[in-house]
Amino acid sequence: MACACQFKEFLEVEWSVPTIESRESAETVGMALEEIAAVRGVRVNLLAKTVTVCFDDAIIGLQHLKEAMLNVGFHAVLV
């Protein structure tokens, strides 16, 4: 499983997003996260219903990522 983060100085976390049901919903979640300036990489696994995010935790926190997914209709829980 390839990671979303190629930068060792950034944090990588994985979220369970059980309501990802389609390619379109996966794209919606991915785009919502990619729009955040401090996010350096996003990988959505539709089959596992997970989202892996690489981000600069000196700029934003986990709550900001969770809210971005919630704002587009997807509840996420850290794995």
Q: Residue 7 — very low, low, confident or very high, per pLDDT cuts 50/70/90?
A: low
What is the per-residue pLDDT for 1? Answer: 39
Contact present, 22 and 68 (Cβ < 8 Å): no
Provide mean pLDDT across the span 37-55.
95
Task: Give Cα 73 to chain centroid, integer Å.
Answer: 13
Residue ranges of domains in the chain, CATH in brackets? 11-78 (3.30.70.100)
